[in-house]
Structure 1
Amino acid sequence: MNQQKIGHGVVPIKINDILTSASDEIRILLTSKTEEYETYNHNIPVPVVNENKHPFIARATLCYFPNCNRNQGVDYTNSELDIHFGRIKLKDNKLKIDSINKNKQSEDQTYLLYEKEARELFRKWDNVKHIYENFLTKKGGKRRLKKQGIDGKW
Structure 2
Amino acid sequence: MDPTLIIFLLLMIGMMWFMTSRGKKRVAAERARLEETLVPGASVMTIGGFLGRIVDIDGDVITLESPSGVETIWMRTAIKEVKEPPFAAVETDESDERSDGEAVIVPDDASALTPDATDAPARDVRAPGVERDATQPGSDDDGREPGTTPRA
TM range (shorter): under 0.3
TM-score by length of 1: 0.20
* Bigger Rg, which one: 2
Bigger RCO of structures 1 and 2 (CA < 8 A, at least 6 apart) = 1
